[in-house]
Amino acid sequence: MSSHEAATRAATTLDRAFATRDTWSNNADVPRIGIFGNGVPETLIAASGALPVHLSLGMTNASHPIESVIEPFVDEEVRGFLVRLMEGEFSAYRGIVFARDDAPALIAYQYASEWIRQENEAEGTPPLFLWNLVHTDSAAVAAFNAVQAGKLFDFLAAAGLKRPSADDIALAAYAETGRQAALKRLKAAVPEHVSGTAAAAWRNAGRFMPAGEHARLLDDALSGGSSRTPGRRIGLVGSPLACPNAYRMLETFGTVVCDQHGFGQTWPAPGNGKSGLTELLAATAADPSCPRVTPAGVHRAHLLDQLQAARCDLVICQLSQTDDTFGWDIPALAQTLGKAGVTFINLSFRDARPDEAWLNGSAARISQALEAGQ
């Protein structure tokens, strides 16, 4: 097989994995642990012998009685997840882990737990676990986070998986370092060889497959050697966005070279590549891309550093309809970028899968703002 054929096949596989999301089934014989939300170290789950699979990107058109108690402020991905959970779509999973410091994940856990407490759940609903890691640096916090890791290991063992040893964690971390290296090469290929739309899809495809397989596919996909004409360098911030149509609309104005949001370059978290449990937990707690990290200014400073390092000349902000996390940073972010001569455009609120009206209206707003700035 030629390098071009290998690249095409790998790119197709990554695109298909991203499109099918948690239903991607190349590893159907491996026990699965679902993850909802960013902030759960996939390395620890992989070290137990399970495949960590992210469930927050899936959507459904089905309905379920649980919708009658879901309040209007709840995110669309939470609503879809809860319907799928109670319809029994995750019955084959050994368990599901929720990230407490991810706002939609905490809400999903609370709704699911209460529905289950009232004995309304479908038969075969997997056990649920709330991963509660504190994002700051102190001896007390380190001790607390170590206790949380122990509770996670207890949960995994109760689900029929092995309790990870130091060697298990080191081996899983080694696979993650390979993925991180491949993702670094992917980032470097944008915009000259890969579009931001493709990069986002290929990166997020890894949420549904083992780290080693993801790294191999990325390296193969990047071996094709295609070239693109670089244009305006776009930064994308705000709420997590995993909609290819939205990326394609943005890339009519240039290339998304820096997407700093929950479904962007902030995943996978840096702690995943640490081979020791103590180091892994410390790196996860200190991750500056987490909106909950303290002190509060660390997250915004990191965001600005990433946009500057990517040499963005246009930064686009967008928010989910129920955002209660990122919006607070917008005024200071816009002011700082404006002083640096970077165009900042806030497209405001959108659905998880923006419709044509929003896409067309947003494109018009960007065009007008760029023309006004010339």
pLDDT value at residue 374: 65
Q: What is the pTM of this model?
A: 0.95
Q: Is residue 59's pLDDT more than 90?
A: no
Q: What does the alpha-carbon distance between residue 212 and residue 20 come to, in Å, rounded to a whole number?
A: 19
237-257 residue pLDDT tens: 999 999 999 999 999 999 999
Q: What does the alpha-carbon distance between residue 135 and residue 202 come to, in Å, rounded to a whole number?
A: 28
Residue 288 phi/psi, 5° resolution? -70, -15
Q: How many CB atoms lie within 10 A of CB 68?
A: 7
- Helix then strand then coil, in percent of the chain rounded to 5, is 50, 10, 35
Average pLDDT, the chain: 94
**pLDDT confidence of 230, banded at 50, 70, 90?**
confident
39-50 residue pLDDT tens: 999 999 999 999
Domain 225-373 CATH assignment equals 3.40.50.11900: yes
The two three-digit tokens of residue 334, written as one number: 């816009």
pLDDT value at residue 327: 79
* Residue extents of the structural domains in the chain: 225-373
Q: What does the alpha-carbon distance between residue 266 and residue 258 come to, in Å, rounded to a whole number?
A: 10
Q: Is residue 24's pLDDT more than 90?
A: yes
60 contacts: CB under 8 Å, gap ≥ 6: 80, 83, 84, 87, 89
279-300 residue pLDDT tens: 999 999 999 999 888 888 899 9
Q: What does the alpha-carbon distance between residue 254 and residue 356 come to, in Å, rounded to a whole number?
A: 20
Q: What does the alpha-carbon distance between residue 269 and residue 111 come to, in Å, rounded to a whole number?
A: 26
129-144 residue pLDDT tens: 999 999 988 999 999 9
Q: Token pair 């180091």 is at which residue?
A: 279
326-339 residue pLDDT tens: 878 899 999 999 99
DSSP alpha helix (H) spans, the chain: 3-20, 42-46, 76-86, 103-117, 139-158, 166-189, 196-205, 211-221, 244-250, 277-285, 297-309, 330-339, 356-373
pLDDT value at residue 56: 93
pLDDT value at residue 103: 87
